């Protein structure tokens, strides 16, 4: 006779094993938003809400901070979404950011269009300090092609992102473009494993536009954000939350089914 209690216990064991394998890959993320000093409170609030919603849905844990804390210990990723000119990175902050990257951390830093030169110059100074090259600012086209691997796993429907009023650079330095115009200029840059001379195990992404991150335009912008989260994770925490590599999935599923079959066989012998 089939024993429902044994079935439940075996199924629960398999579920626990699956849960342990998936939750272990989630990142702890620090979001720095500069809420009390931003020049655009509505934009900052929208970005914070959109990012937190997307990241937590992917299984990450998000901590929101108004300013830069003294330590990034305990965080797999740090996202500095501040874009106003009064949030230019200071020399001590650049030193802190580079040290975090050099220790294998993942980071995103926001820039903006030509009207935010003070902030933008500090982002370029961070890239140079980390060993990503001396990049020059420019004003690129608005609609840009999304480059692999940031085209997936979440799809970009037409293969491009339309920024509202972007800034950009004339070269990605030692990194690669996440989005570009096809003429050598682009707005989104990514430095992965080995790209930064001063932080070879870290990952650094930078985008010189803010509006795409508000989540109010279209699903492509939101999927672009999801893909950047995953791209950083691939370097610093290399398994996307909620995704188990197929061999592990098969193994855990097999363990669960085996437990169920064993429970039924034992019960059948006793009947």
123 has a pLDDT exceeding 50: yes
More confident residue, 215 or 213: 213
What's the average model confidence in pLDDT over 216-231?
A: 94
pLDDT tens for residues 27-77?
999 999 999 999 999 999 999 999 999 999 999 999 999 999 999 999 999
Tokens of 141: 């086209």
pLDDT tens for residues 141-188?
999 999 999 999 999 999 999 999 999 999 999 999 999 999 999 999
pLDDT tens for residues 100-114?
999 999 999 999 999
What's the average model confidence in pLDDT over 79-86?
A: 97
pLDDT at 270: 52
What's the average model confidence in pLDDT over 131-136?
A: 98
What's the average model confidence in pLDDT over 205-213?
A: 97
Q: pLDDT-based confidence at 216, cuts 50/70/90?
A: confident
pTM of the prediction?
0.81
Q: pLDDT-based confidence at 250, cuts 50/70/90?
A: very low
CATH topology of domain 26-241: Rossmann fold (3.40.50)
């Amino acid at each position: 006779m089939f024993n429902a209690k044994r079935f439940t216990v075996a199924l629960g064991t398999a579920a626990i094993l699956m849960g342990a394998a998936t939750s272990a890959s989630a990142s702890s993320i620090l979001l720095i938003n500069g809420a009390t000093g931003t020049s655009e409170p509505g934009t900052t609030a929208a970005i914070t809400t959109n990012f937190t919603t997307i990241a937590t849905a992917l299984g990450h844990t998000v901590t929101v901070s108004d300013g830069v804390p003294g330590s990034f210990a305990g965080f797999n990723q740090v996202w500095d979404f501040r874009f106003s000119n009064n949030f230019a990175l200071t020399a001590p902050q650049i030193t802190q950011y580079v040290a975090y990257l050099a220790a294998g951390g993942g980071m995103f830093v926001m820039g903006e269009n030509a009207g935010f030169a003070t902030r933008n110059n500090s982002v370029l100074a961070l890239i140079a300090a980390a060993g990503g090259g001396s990049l020059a600012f420019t004003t690129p086209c608005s609609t840009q092609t999304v480059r692999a691997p940031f085209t997936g796993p979440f799809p970009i429907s037409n293969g491009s992102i339309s920024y509202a009023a972007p800034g950009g650079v004339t070269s990605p330095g030692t990194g690669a473009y996440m989005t570009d115009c096809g003429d050598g200029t682009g707005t989104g840059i990514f430095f992965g494993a080995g790209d930064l001379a001063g932080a070879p195990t870290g990952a650094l992404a930078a985008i010189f536009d803010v509006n795409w991150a508000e989540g109010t335009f279209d699903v492509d912008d939101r999927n672009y954000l999801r893909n950047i989260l995953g791209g950083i994770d691939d370097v610093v925490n290399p398994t996307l939350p909620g995704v188990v590599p197929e061999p592990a999935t098969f193994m855990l599923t097999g363990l669960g089914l085996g437990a169920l079959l064993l429970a039924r066989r034992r019960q059948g012998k006793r009947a």
